[in-house]
Each structure stands twice: as structure tokens, then as C-alpha cells.
Amino acid sequence: MGVTIAKKPELDINGERWVEFAPGARLLVRSAADPLYRSHLAVLNRHIGLINNQCRVGSQNFSISSLPQVEFENGDDLYFELAAMHLVKNWDGVDVEGSPGSPAPYSTELCKKLFEQMPSAYLAALQAANDIAKRVEEQAKATVEKQ
């Protein structure tokens, strides 16, 4: 078999869903429709856009040799931190080096490190957060149509 069509996950409780990102490890993810997340994402995108504009990224005048001798932030790190702050609420099955087998308490900083070490966990969280937001929007639309 090449493709398995999965049924939709069970309804999200309080706009949250547990998502397994590795065997025995999962994240409690909330909706990407959260206003504070969306606001901070817009600010982050503007920040990266301004840096790109200053460096003439995407223009004919862009050249690596013309870049200032300044180290710019890694955009991935900023997105990882944003998701750890706003999209992931908790985790299960995660420990830290030095105390394997002992569950690590959730923190934004540890979650950011997890995403840096395992970008697939970030992608799983982002996909779930967007799916939750989409399903909430679909449910609201269906409710309006019934009235």
C-alpha cells in the first residue's frame, strides 16, 4: 500500500490536541488561531522582512560580498521560540541528557532546544496547530450555515 487515508483526529478539547512526534513522546499543542500567536508571528515576519530588505535579498543588487559583517539571527530559532511560547503547552515522554528516563518538566527554553535538535517535532506541532485552527473555523462556519 502506498497511501493510507486517515480519519480526522477526534475533536480537539479546548482547542488543544496531543500529537505524537516520536514513539512514546508527544506534545500538547494549541490552535494557531490564538490572537497573541498570530500577532507575534506577524511581528516576527516583519522583522525578518526588514533584515532581508536591508540586505537587498531578492533584488538584482543582492550580493554575499555586500552583506554587512554582522551575524544575523537564524530565522528557524525565532520560529522555534515562537512555537514553544505559544503553540506547545506541555509534553509527555521527554527527558534531558543527564537524567534519562526521568520526565523533564515543560519549559519554553527546553521546547526550543527540542525543536533545534528535532525539527520534525516543530513541524508536527505547527501542522497540528494549523489543523486545529482550520477545524475550529470549519465548525464555526457550519454552525452559521445551520442558523
Local structure of residue 7 (DSSP, 8 states): P
- Sign of the torsion formed by the C-alpha atoms of 41, 47, 51 and 54: positive
pLDDT, one tens digit per residue, over 49-81 is 877 777 777 778 777 777 766 666 667 899 999
What is the pLDDT, as a whole number, of residue 26? 96
CB atoms within 10 A of CB 46: 10
User: Which cell numbers in the block locate residue 74?
Assistant: 537564524
Domain ranges in the chain are 16-58+71-146
Does this model's pTM top 0.85?
no
Q: Is the pLDDT of residue 5 over 90?
A: no
Q: Is the pLDDT of residue 13 over 60?
A: no
What is the pLDDT, as a whole number, of residue 137? 73
